[in-house]
């Protein structure tokens, strides 16, 4: 392990159940496997740096700023005082959202398919918050995760097609009593061009391709799976190469 583990650092667990309701029906697990390879091997160090205070290129600096803004917007959809609330940080990455949720009093379940990122997230959590966050590596749809008051999924559904996102939201909505706040890549001209280029030239490093979505098509996909709740687009954040659309499913 590349990190010395202080004795009081939370020890990440590993989910046994990887099976998801989408399994076998569509491409969820295929996309998830690509995402895992990318974040757990190819891009771990890049992601670790981007999510820290370490100097980065000017382009990455704009991405960092955009992500900070998006995180704040997503958090603003939740009550200020989160004491007593059980919240899923679905695809927690290096744990920035989890730490903020815990600082507001929530009991956080921080899950990510990349064990390396979960290790980084656990190592970074401020000491005083360690009792409030359970770190797990595995699929955000695992049955073992239980029920939640709120779910946040920042930029963790951006690689999945609309049918997979709809099934994932349906699964999560049936375990959640408040809202699910998540992001998608919007269908802007820039992102559509990048997406088409990615389709034409599949990447050799097997990095996952972001799929842009229109809110109306997502809404239709949700209706098709009879997901509970009401879908509303929230704000869009554009900062350099970071373009992300926040959405909310109110249950």
Identified binder of ligand SAM from the candidate list 10, 12, 22, 35, rule CB under 6 A:
35
CA angle 138, 213, 59 (to 5 degrees): 80
Distance of CA 133 to the CA centre of its chain: 16
185 DSSP β-pair partners:
212
117 belongs to the binding site for ligand SAM (CB under 6 A): yes
100 belongs to the binding site for ligand SAM (CB under 6 A): no
Q: Which is nearer to ligand SAM, 151 or 216 (CB)?
A: 151
Identified binder of ligand SAM from the candidate list 44, 73, 96, 179, rule CB under 6 A:
96
Q: Are 178 and 150 in contact (CB under 8 A)?
A: yes
Q: Which stretch binds ligand SAM (CB under 6 A): 100-108, 124-132, 152-160, 213-221?
A: 152-160
The counts of H helices and E strands in the chain are: 8, 9
Q: Are 246 and 234 in contact (CB under 8 A)?
A: yes
Q: Are 163 and 221 in contact (CB under 8 A)?
A: yes
Q: Which stretch binds ligand SAM (CB under 6 A): 11-19, 31-39, 53-61, 242-250?
A: 31-39
Range 157-216, binding ligand SAM (CB under 6 A):
none
Rounded CA separation 107/192 (Å): 38
Identified binder of ligand SAM from the candidate list 113, 122, 145, 231, rule CB under 6 A:
113
**Alpha-carbon separation of residue 167 from 148, 157, 164, 232, 233 (angstroms):** 17, 11, 5, 17, 18
Binding mask 49-68 for ligand SAM (x = CB under 6 A): --x-----------------
> Count of residues binding ligand SAM (CB under 6 A)?
19
Range 121-150, binding ligand SAM (CB under 6 A):
139-140
Q: Which is nearer to ligand SAM, 92 or 108 (CB)?
A: 92
Maximum Cα–Cα distance across the chain: 49
The owner of tokens 């360690």 is: 130
Q: Which is nearer to ligand SAM, 72 or 216 (CB)?
A: 72
Q: Which is nearer to ligand SAM, 230 or 241 (CB)?
A: 241
Per-residue tokens: 85: 């609330």
Q: Could you list the residues that contact ligand SAM (CB under 6 A)?
A: 32, 35, 39, 51, 91-93, 96-97, 111-114, 117, 139-140, 154-156
């Amino acid at each position: 392990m590349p990190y010395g583990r202080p004795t009081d650092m939370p020890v990440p667990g590993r989910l046994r159940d990887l099976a998801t309701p989408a399994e076998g029906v569509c491409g969820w697990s295929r996309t998830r496997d690509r995402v895992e390879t990318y974040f757990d091997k190819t891009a771990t160090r890049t992601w670790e740096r981007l999510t820290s205070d370490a100097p980065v290129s000017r382009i990455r600096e704009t991405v960092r700023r955009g992500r900070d803004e998006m995180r704040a917007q997503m958090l603003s959809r939740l009550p200020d005082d989160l004491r007593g609330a059980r919240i899923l940080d679905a695809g927690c990455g290096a744990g920035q959202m989890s730490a903020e949720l815990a600082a507001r009093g929530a009991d956080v379940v921080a899950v990510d398919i990349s064990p390396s990122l979960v290790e980084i997230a656990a190592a970074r959590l401020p000491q005083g918050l360690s009792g409030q966050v359970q770190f797990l590596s595995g699929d955000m749809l695992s049955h073992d995760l239980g029920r939640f008051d709120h779910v946040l999924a920042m930029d963790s559904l951006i690689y999945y097609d609309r049918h997979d996102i709809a099934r994932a939201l349906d699964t999560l909505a049936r375990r959640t009593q408040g809202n699910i706040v998540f992001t998608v890549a919007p269908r802007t001209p820039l992102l559509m061009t990048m997406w088409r280029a990615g389709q034409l030239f599949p990447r050799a490093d097997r990095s996952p391709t972001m799929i842009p979505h229109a809110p109306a098509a997502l809404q239709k996909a949700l209706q098709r799976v009879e997901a509970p709740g009401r879908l509303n687009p929230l704000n869009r954040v554009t900062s350099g190469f970071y373009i992300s659309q926040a959405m909310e499913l109110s249950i």
